[in-house]
């Protein structure tokens, strides 16, 4: 069964450093998303991406964040200058129809 994959599974970085989180969505999907989950809390939407552009973003997704689909398979989330409060699990999701969203296993980002 096709799956969303994410790398790395765990990323440790120092405050102020840039990080890139990578995702490979399910191959025939057209809608892509990033969410985050701070430990013990609910999942929060960051950004959605369709037709090679951002379709919606939340207040969390400020100028420090960017997304890119550099080729036909990868979808990346970049955080330019990480802050302590960026520590969270980051989930990529994809959807074929814009309704059912399938999540990857997540990247645990730890900012020290």
Q: Where along the sequence are the contacts to another protein (CB under 8 A)? A: 4, 31, 33, 35, 41-45, 48, 50, 55-56, 58, 91, 95, 97-106
Element (H, E) at 24: strand 19-24
Residue closer to another protein by CB (options 1, 71) is 1
What would the 3-class secondary structure string for 53-83 be?
EEEEECCCCCCCEEEECCCCCCEEEEECCCC
Q: At its nearest, how many Å lie between another protein and the CB of residue 16?
A: 27
What value does the CA radius of gyration of the chain take, rounded to a whole number of Å? 13
Give the tokens for residue 3: 């799956």
Residue closer to another protein by CB (options 42, 70) is 42
Residue closer to another protein by CB (options 16, 98) is 98
Q: At its nearest, how many Å lie between another protein and the CB of residue 103?
A: 4
């Amino acid at each position: 069964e096709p799956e969303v994959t994410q790398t790395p599974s765990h990323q440790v970085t120092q405050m102020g450093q840039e990080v890139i989180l990578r995702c490979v969505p399910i191959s025939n999907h057209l809608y892509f998303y990033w969410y985050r989950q701070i430990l013990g809390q609910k999942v929060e939407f960051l950004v959605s991406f369709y037709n090679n552009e951002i379709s919606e973003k939340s207040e969390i997704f400020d100028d420090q964040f960017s997304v890119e689909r550099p080729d036909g398979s990868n979808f990346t989330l970049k955080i330019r200058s990480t802050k302590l409060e960026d520590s969270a699990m980051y989930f990529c999701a994809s959807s074929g129809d814009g309704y059912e969203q399938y999540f990857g296993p997540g990247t645990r980002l730890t900012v020290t």
